[in-house]
Amino acid sequence: MAIDSQQFRLLVVRPVLYQLDPEIRYSPVAEELLMFTVAHESDMGRYLKQLGGGPALSVFMIEKPTFNWLFNSVLTRPAEPKVNWPNIRLKVHDITTKGTHDETIWNLQFATAIARLRYFVVKEPLPATTSAQALGDYWGRNYQTTNDPKKIREAIRDYLRYIKQ
């Protein structure tokens, strides 16, 4: 059983993106990219732990090394001319209660903030459009990272199934 995509968007994703703004600017593309990611990574919230014994957790299937890098390294950076890391850190800490990888299983807002942070640290700008293909290509390069055309097609299929029904 999947999470209702409209409720997830309105009650989890959008409020988190608004909370992170203006340090991490809200955009409809960022919102759609997170919806794309959760639709594929966990079958829209059906799974909270990677199948087959893999290490990924949460509706975004965040692996522990990625989580540790983002939470313990990226979020501890000093302010930069274009990025106020201390303010981002405070905003993420406002969402979490423990700041652990395991918390991403049950704290949907925290998992969403970590997933948004994962995309935020990518040097490539967000796609210019919210087309399924643009989102899939971006996800393949920057979240899934192997840029495997078969996985991108599967991700687009899941996105269309759960989000663009």
For residue 2, which of 60, 49, 45, 58 has the smallest C-alpha distance? Answer: 45
Radius of gyration of the chain (CA): 15
pLDDT mean over 96-116: 97
CA distance 32 to 1: 21
Question: What is the residue-averaged pLDDT of the chain?
Answer: 96
Q: What is the pLDDT of residue 157?
A: 97
Higher-pLDDT residue of 145 and 117 is 117
pLDDT mean over 112-118: 98
pLDDT in tens, 16-35: 999 999 999 999 999 999 99
Question: Looking at the predicted structure, is the pLDDT value of residue 41 above 80?
Answer: yes
Q: What is the pLDDT of residue 147?
A: 84
> Is the separation of the CB atoms in 132 and 164 below 8 Å?
yes
For residue 34, which of 142, 116, 125 has the smallest C-alpha distance? Answer: 116
